[in-house]
Amino acid sequence: MSKKVEIRVSLEEEFIEKIEHIKNYYGIKNTTELIRFLITKKYREVTRNINGKIN
Protein backbone atom coordinates (compact mmCIF):
# COMPACT_ATOMS: atom_id res chain seq x y z
CA MET A 1 0.00 0.00 0.00
CA SER A 2 1.41 3.40 -0.90
CA LYS A 3 1.19 6.36 1.42
CA LYS A 4 0.26 9.73 -0.06
CA VAL A 5 2.10 12.80 1.16
CA GLU A 6 1.27 16.34 0.11
CA ILE A 7 4.19 18.72 -0.37
CA ARG A 8 3.80 22.44 -0.90
CA VAL A 9 6.75 24.57 -2.00
CA SER A 10 7.32 28.09 -3.23
CA LEU A 11 9.16 28.32 -6.53
CA GLU A 12 10.86 31.21 -8.25
CA GLU A 13 9.36 32.37 -11.54
CA GLU A 14 12.42 31.23 -13.53
CA PHE A 15 12.05 27.68 -12.17
CA ILE A 16 8.32 27.66 -12.98
CA GLU A 17 9.10 28.70 -16.57
CA LYS A 18 11.57 25.80 -16.87
CA ILE A 19 8.95 23.40 -15.51
CA GLU A 20 6.41 24.64 -18.07
CA HIS A 21 8.97 24.23 -20.86
CA ILE A 22 9.69 20.62 -19.82
CA LYS A 23 5.96 19.86 -19.53
CA ASN A 24 5.32 21.20 -23.03
CA TYR A 25 8.35 19.46 -24.55
CA TYR A 26 7.39 16.02 -23.21
CA GLY A 27 3.62 16.55 -23.48
CA ILE A 28 3.11 16.21 -19.75
CA LYS A 29 -0.26 17.48 -18.54
CA ASN A 30 0.35 18.50 -14.93
CA THR A 31 3.09 19.13 -12.38
CA THR A 32 2.47 15.89 -10.47
CA GLU A 33 3.04 13.89 -13.66
CA LEU A 34 6.17 15.94 -14.34
CA ILE A 35 7.60 15.20 -10.90
CA ARG A 36 6.93 11.47 -11.34
CA PHE A 37 8.57 11.61 -14.78
CA LEU A 38 11.69 13.38 -13.48
CA ILE A 39 12.06 11.06 -10.48
CA THR A 40 11.68 7.98 -12.69
CA LYS A 41 14.13 9.35 -15.25
CA LYS A 42 16.72 10.15 -12.56
CA TYR A 43 16.19 6.76 -10.88
CA ARG A 44 16.88 4.98 -14.17
CA GLU A 45 20.00 7.10 -14.70
CA VAL A 46 21.34 6.30 -11.23
CA THR A 47 20.48 2.60 -11.55
CA ARG A 48 22.23 2.40 -14.93
CA ASN A 49 25.34 4.06 -13.48
CA ILE A 50 25.41 1.76 -10.46
CA ASN A 51 24.87 -1.38 -12.55
CA GLY A 52 27.50 -0.26 -15.03
CA LYS A 53 30.09 0.14 -12.28
CA ILE A 54 29.28 -3.20 -10.65
CA ASN A 55 29.44 -5.29 -13.84
**pLDDT (average), residues 16-38:** 89
pLDDT band, residue 21 (cuts 50/70/90): very high
Confidence check: pLDDT of 6 > 70: yes
Write down the pLDDT at residue 19.
Answer: 87
Write down the pLDDT at residue 27.
Answer: 92
CB burial string 13-37: b at 16+ within 10 A, e below: eeeeeebeeebeeeebeeeeebeee
Confidence check: pLDDT of 12 > 50: yes
The share of the chain scoring above pLDDT 90, in percent, equals: 16
Tell me the C-alpha distance between 36 and 38, whole Å.
6
Tell me the C-alpha distance between 24 and 55, whole Å.
37
Q: Which residues are within 8 A (CB) of 19 and not within 5 positions of it... i.e. 6 or more apart?
A: 11, 31, 34
